[in-house]
Structure 1
Amino acid sequence: MNTLQRQQVQTPLYHDPAAPVDARVADLLARMTLREKVGQLNQRMYGWNAYRRRPDGEFELTRALYEETDRFEGLGALYGLLRADAWSGVDHSTGADAQAGPALAHLVQRHVLERSRLGIPALFVEEVPHGLMALDGTVLPVNLAVGATWDPELYERAASHAAAELRARGGHLALVSALDIARDPRWGRTEECFGEDPYLAARLTEALVRGMQGNAAEQVGFSSDKAPVVLKHFAGQGATVGGRNSAESELGPRELHEIHLPAARAGVRAGAAGVMAAYNEVDGIPCSANGPLLNRLLRENWGFEGLVMADGLAVDRLARITGDKVSAGALALNSGIDLSLWDEGFTHLAEAVERGLVKESALDAAVSRVLALKFRLGLFEHPYMTPELPPASGEDGRSLSTALARSAVTLLHNKAGVLPVDPARVSRMAVIGPHSATTAHQLGDYTAPQRPGTGTSVLAALNRLTFPGTEVRHAPGCALTGDDRSGIPEAVAAAAASDLAVLVLGGSSARTPDTEFDANGAARTIVSEMTCGEGVDLAGLRLGQAQHALLDAVTATGTPTVVVLVQGRPHAVPEAAERAAALLTAWYPGPWGGEAIAEILLGHTAPTGRLPVSVPRSAAQLPVYYNHKDTEYGSYVDEDAEPLYSFGQGLTYTSFEYGVPNIVRDGTSYGVSCEVDVTNTGERAGCSVVQLYIRPLRTTVWPRTLELRAFQSVDLAPGECRTVAFTLGVDQLAQVGVDLERTVLPGSVEIRVAESARGALDAVPAVLDVQG
């Protein structure tokens, strides 16, 4: 036997990086005991309990980690090693910052490998909801703000930067909200949605996957600055009853397929490495126990070969219907769950196999998917890989975050043209409101503690950027919550003595150390100023009483007032629409959102944001999403049924005129495209987001009033006209048929092009006869 032959005998196939992933998985799986297999499917620990920081600043491993790795001779995955927030209790004094993170990940991984008989590394799983949720991670605007940008290319660059940060810190797998569709803004997690529309969400989900993972179709593995993503939540969680977190979703199959599955389908097609089963149930079947959803639809019909993770403690919740946690774990595994999160049920899978509740072949299939991801990441060759953080497309995190924030700011009305601020008319400016001088409420839920001085408030940005000689006065006016109005007189005096008042109002998802949490991290007892976020659902959509009083008092001074809303959901503030000279929403724009807002107020840049959700007049109207079924909806006797502002709406500092859409036969998939002339009729350069909607006329299923099917941004100089062309292919024309398959159905379809859904209803359409 020669040297090469001896090496081949001594080196297991699974250690050969040149071998196919499937072969490596099969070889390793054949060497594993049942106990080791079960260990690969468990993600039991909170990562912050795996270490402690000594007084000298160094990290040491805890007894809890030793016990966890001894239990299964290794560790399948570890959640939140880098996580820092009020729930974990990790801050800059106790956790790992950007410099210490790689060393901590190295320390833990080395321990895992030493405890694993076969040398199987652990997956380090981290939250990346809007940037890496770790100390010194770049905080991006929340998803609802990303939806308002209508800019997948910009978001793709930001997602790429977030992936690079995760990998540079030693993390591997990113958990990212993308699949929830905002159908009830009372839900506290509305900020995690890209919006109310499935097409917009699908395009942004594709951008997310491309940005974080790269082009998965061209590679088996992941480069050192890319991270596989788990898209959450699958499916229908954005439509729970009453907007209550984790409640049931009363969705028929058609509603599920038309509204709540397209983003997931787009993410799977883009190559997403994983999806997370949602907390809610659909038609009586919990998502984490929904075999038809996970096994039949996701895996068989869509061909998904990746990882399915349960949401935190969702498996153990199944004991309510199975009777105990052993059978709960068996039900989840048999239904398609591969990896648990903090559950006890999956720790008993060996017992479930022995009792005949689970076939070992089903267990092996789940283990294979976990191992395949580890091989694709190159963890067996480079378990300690900590590459230097590369720039994302030449842009650093701050510039990307600010660019997203700037693109998300949406101008809803601008009476008498008070914006942009005219220095010839404004020499004294009052900056007022509970959000005006703070960055804490700009950040959104799932945000790590920020170092002092990080970010820019609206007040600080206006002081720095405003025109020379402009006097800026400040008064907070009131607290964000409650009815304390003691600061209103000072705010009124500041407004009355000014030429313009900027009133910054809204909500907050800022968690504080005194917030009480459920075992899965959702806020339970709401304290301080938290009015949005996971576990913070509202029955109404009004701002705090004192904020409404402040709005009334400031606008009553007669000073032109610009209202800026910083929020994680569309609040109902019809008074601002009635009384403010201008109204903008910035959502949660991230740490540097104040800079983006100030730039737009002062005209350094023009607003380009468009609403990703409809804005209601009150919670009593709900639902108000634009794409309801095309029936003869009646109005209310006591209130208008129309939203205050429609989906897609947003103004800029010029005006546009749209021509009538023209259908052109051009030899594409269905032989047609749509062209429309767009003209800048104002005196400033500007950007219009051209939106194409379809309205089926003759079709085999009951249609929706409108459905967004394409959009393009176009920049035009004053007086410039440009022809915008859209290909009308499957993505634009397909509908969910009687058999629930998405296909192009025969019939007649109106093509409407406008600047918003409301505008599309009034636009002159083109009619296209479609052959299925």
Structure 2
Amino acid sequence: MTVAVPRYRDPAAPVPERVRDLLGRMTLAEKVGQLNQRMYGWHAYERTPDGHRLTDAFRAEVAAFDGMGALYGLQRADAWSGVGFGEGLDARDGALTAAAVQRHVVDGTRLGIPVLLVEEMPHGHQALDGTVLPVNLAAGATWDPELYADAVAGAAAELRARGAHVALVSALDLVRDPRWGRSEECFAEDPYLAARMTEALVAGARRAGVAVVLKHFAGQGATVGGRNSAATELGHRELHEIHLAAARAGVAAGAAGVMAAYNEFDGVPCVANRYLLTGLLREEWGFDGVVMADGTAIDRLVRLTGDPVSAAAMALDAGCDLSLWDDCFPRLGEAVDRGLVSGRALDAAVARVLTLKFRLGLFERPVPEAGPGPGAARELGVLGERIARASVTLLVHEGGALPLSRAARRIAVLGPNADSVAQQIGDYTAPQRPGDGVTVLEGIRAAAGPDTEVVCARGCELVGDDVSRVAEAARLAAGADVAVLVLGGSSARTPDTAFEANGAAVTVAGAPSGMTCGEGVDLADLSLPPAQRALLAAVSATGTPVVVVLVQGRPHALPEFEAPVRAVLSAWYPGPQGGRAVAQVLFGDAEPRGRLPVSVPRSAAHLPVFYHGKDHRYRGYVDQRATPRYAFGHGLSYTSVEYGAPRLSRTRVSVDAPRLTCRVAVRNTGARPADETVQLYVRRLSGGATWPRVRELRGFARLRLAPGERADAVFEVDAETLASVGRDLRLVVEPGAVELETGPASDRTRGVRLEITDSESNET
């Protein structure tokens, strides 16, 4: 007798039919289980003398709902989870344990629904022996989405080979206030650049068969005072003009989910904000993916509702599908029984989670096949180093101090970030094996000439005002041909770091901490700490040429240097191989091609300094200049480059057919190759629904020019280039006059006027 296969088990059936069939077979408890991600993944296994086994706690969690929707962080390793090499999962054990999880859930439950294995992939899979990439701010500094997409594809392949299916990646937040400790997780201060990098992120992950959940929706980078998870004062227009561009791009590129942010919008927490999660995301944008809560965010709603069942109902009704570590969401069954939320709303959320599982092919392949081997890891490491090299940004260059000479007699490498891999890899990073990575000191020693002596001194600690070792460092600098001073910040967590329930670092004003950046580490003062400033002054006073390298996760405020500095480079947490990448740029083996994805302020008192503020013709402060120290898009090279004026194929277009070509001639007038990022900005001169912004990035192109070579950067201008947020908060091309500007940075542009008319008949 032939037993009929349930429709949901038929791989040839359309996904909507499989979902409907499975939903119809589920109990209320099973449905609620699919919406929960309550367990920390590292509590699901334990080490035994024979390897790893699933814990009783994991088995009980599965039994409670006869299934499990998602399991977060099975392979996460860091100071917060307490997972290290002694008890954690390496690549082989990770794949085996993931397979054991799936077998237990599929074989041991009534319906056999596979579990989503969700992992952090902020800059590489956050797991033991996962390849660590430079942080997002470094990726943004490359202005190279294609390179970033390749690296993401490699990281996602590593994640998938270890049995995971969903990657959580920060992409939607913008650096509106660099005092915010999570600035390193942002691509840029600019919505256009962030949108292009987000598209690349989604595309790269999808190449490896990994679903991406984009963090955080929406406006988290706009918190007041740069304080983590604090209030926002966003209006609807700024939300749409600035904070939704990356989310729109990511959704259009095929993101599987978004994570609701901690902050509120218009006074309503994002995880309970129906306007954001349903009205905008689902109804207006047509998004059919999963909305995930941020860690314990639903539990915070109890302050509004008074009880956990009502909090769960509030989040579900708003459009949240999947919890993260919350105690409230497991009580959704009670919410249905009490009439606080409808069974239909519950089914809709469950359907979205099941749809993702079907789309990922988990019912047919819950356990991954053998993944990429060591060769793929080496290739990904090379891509990470390429990102690091491309992100190094030359801010100051005077007197031809760079490239460094291999004929130098002695080079002094000084500073608290000179010889630390931990301080160049950023937050959300798993423990590294001893000896892995290349520090800046090690990179310089390897790159220097055979007769060059490289001497080193720490000089001072990363934070504080202890200057007891400054004199020793200055003495070494005085006897050197050049001093490379490696300063900046660190997001390195230690076993002594205290944590919030959601993993954010706990920091208290005045308490000693080696962290100056990272989640929960917000600064009031953006300047370098006192001891670092004293070290810089003492070394510069020796008269030895000084090159400053800033290893950092946020733009530190840089006033006018009181002492002479020949060159300043920014290396945004460049990853384990970042020291070699920095050395290659210092010695001229690679041209500096990074461009600032953020504006660098003169001090915290000058904030905000993002380049695309509203154009109210503000005159600035009386006592100080209001401009940034270095503008968005800025970045120098070892050669000189000359830009012509932009040339348009037409100077008048209609709102119905706004198509034209913009060209700009760029010539390398120096003696070294140029790797130039040509930038296109739009500046509204008249018309429009709202007060215009100073200028807005709408395109960029990369040119490689030999000495003396001239080439055109070509931009195809269309509706997407010229669109702005109209009165109804939708993107529209509005009539009026704009200026198309091109140049090497936002503060060095040349423009040409373009008229946008109401009707096509007026085009010329």
TM-score calculated relative to the size of structure 1: 0.96
Q: Is the 8 A contact 1:405 1:596 kept in 2?
A: yes
- Contact 1:563–1:576 under 8 Å retained in 2: no
Q: Where in structure 2 are the equivalents of 1:258-297 lying within 5 Å?
A: 258-297=241-280
Offset, 1:770: 4.6
Which residue in 2 is equivalent to 1:37? 31
SS in 2 for 1:22: helix
Question: Contact 2:527/2:557 (CA < 8 Å) preserved in 1?
Answer: yes
Q: What residue in structure 2 maps to residue 632 of structure 1?
A: 617
In structure 1, runs of 5+ residues without a counterpart are 215-224
| Alignment pair present for 1:690 and 2:669 | no
Task: For 1:344-423, list aligned pairs within 5 A.
Answer: 344-389=327-372, 396-423=379-406
Q: Aligned ranges for residues 574-723 of structure 1 at < 5 Å?
A: 574-576=559-561, 579-665=564-650, 670-700=658-688, 701-723=690-712
Between the aligned partners of 1:13 and 1:67, the Cα distance in structure 2 is: 29
Query: Whole-Å Cα distance in 1 between the matches of residues 751 and 63 of structure 2?
Result: 69
Q: Secondary structure at the match of 2:613?
A: coil
Contact 2:526/2:603 (8 A) holds in 1: yes
Q: Write out aligned runs for 1:211-360 (5 A).
A: 211-214=204-207, 225-360=208-343
How many angstroms apart in 2 are the aligned matches of 1:393 and 1:745? 48
- Paired residues of 1:132 and 1:165 also in contact (CA < 8 A): yes
The whole-number CA distance in structure 2 between the counterparts of 1:577 and 1:588 is: 26
SS at match of 1:29: helix
Aligned: 1:476 with 2:453: no
Tell me which amino acid in the other structure corresponds to 2:212: V
The residue number in structure 1 matching 2:103 is 110
Distance 1:603 1:318, change over 3 A: same
2:330 aligned counterpart, secondary structure: helix
* Aligned partner letter, 1:671: R
Q: Which moves more between the two structures, 439-448 or 458-467?
A: 458-467
Partner of 1:154 in structure 2?
A: 147
Q: Deviations over 1:667-708 (max 9, x none)?
A: 995231101111111111111100000101112221100000
1:712/1:689 Cα in 2 relative to 1: closer, same or farther (>3 Å)?
same
1:565-594: CA deviations, max 9, x gaps? Answer: 001100013254863110000010000000
Where 1:299 maps in the other structure, the secondary structure is: helix
SS, match of residue 125 in structure 1: strand
Q: Look up the match of 2:436.
A: 454
- Percent identity of the aligned residues? 61
- Offset from partner CA, 1:384-425 (integer Å, 9 cap, x none): 12432169999712101100000000000111110011345x
Match runs of 1:20-99 below 5 Å: 20-54=14-48, 56-99=49-92
Q: Deviations over 1:194-221 (max 9, x none)?
A: 010000000000000000013xxxxxxx
| Contact in 2 for aligned 1:481/1:545 (Cα 8 Å) | yes
The 1:768–1:722 alpha-carbon spacing in structure 2 relative to 1, beyond 3 Å, is farther
Deviation at 1:764, TM superposition (A): 4.1
- For 1:183, the equivalent position in structure 2 comes to 176
Count of equivalent residues: 752
Instruction: Judge conservation of contact 2:170–2:186 (CA < 8 Å) in 1.
Output: yes
Q: 1:304 to 1:563 in 2, by over 3 A?
A: same
User: How far apart in 2 are the matches of 1:207 and 1:770?
Assistant: 34
- 1:95-153 C-alpha deviation (Å, 9 max, x unpaired): 00012110011112222223321001111000000110000001000001111000000
TM-score, with structure 2 as normaliser: 0.97
What is the alpha-carbon distance in structure 2 between the residues aligned to residue 125 and residue 394 of structure 1?
A: 21
How far did 1:453 drift?
1.0
Letter in 1 for 2:389: R
The one-letter code sitting in structure 1 at the alignment partner of 2:280 is L
Cα deviation 1:539-566 (Å, max 9, x = unaligned): 1102221111111111111100000000
For 2:402 and 2:756, the matched residues in 1 are separated by: 44
Is contact 2:537-2:562 (8 Å) kept?
Answer: no
C-alpha contact (below 8 Å) 1:167/1:386 kept by paired residues: no
Counterpart in the other structure of 1:166: 159
Q: For 1:66 and 1:671, locate their aligned partners in 2 and report how far apart those are by CA, in whole Å.
A: 60
Note closer, same or farther for the CA distance 1:67–1:710 as it changes in structure 2 (3 Å cut).
Answer: same
Distance 2:36 2:680 in 1: 46
Q: Does 1:440 align with 2:422?
A: yes
The one-letter code of the counterpart of 1:376 is R
Post-superposition shift, 1:246?
0.5
Structure 1 stretches (4+) deviating beyond 6 angstroms?
390-395
Unaligned residue ranges in structure 2 (runs of 5+): 760-764
For residue 494 of structure 1, the aligned residue among 476, 482, 489 is 476
Quick check: 1:515 aligned with 2:502? no
Taking the aligned partners of 1:679 and 1:602, their CA distance within structure 2 comes to 24
8 A Cα contact 2:643 2:664, kept in partner: yes
Q: How does 1:183-202 map to 2 (within 5 A)?
A: 183-202=176-195
CA contact (8 A) 2:666 2:711 kept: yes
Q: Is the 8 A contact 2:34 2:350 kept in 1?
A: yes
1:744 to 733, 753, 756: 733
Conserved? CA contact 1:161–1:391, under 8 Å: no
Find the aligned partners of 2:400 and 2:757 in 1 and give their Cα distance: 44
Q: How does 1:751-762 map to 2 (within 5 A)?
A: 751-760=740-749
In 2, are the aligned partners of 1:313 and 1:341 still within 8 Å (CA)?
Answer: yes
Cα 1:390–1:296 change in 2 (3 A) is: farther
Comparing 693-702 with 745-754, greater Cα deviation is found at 693-702
RMSD (CA atoms): 1.6
Structure-1 separation of matches of 2:685 and 2:370 = 55
Q: Distance in 1 between matches of 2:470 and 2:757?
A: 60
1:14-42 CA-to-partner distances (Å, cap 9, x unmatched) read: 11111111111111110000000000000
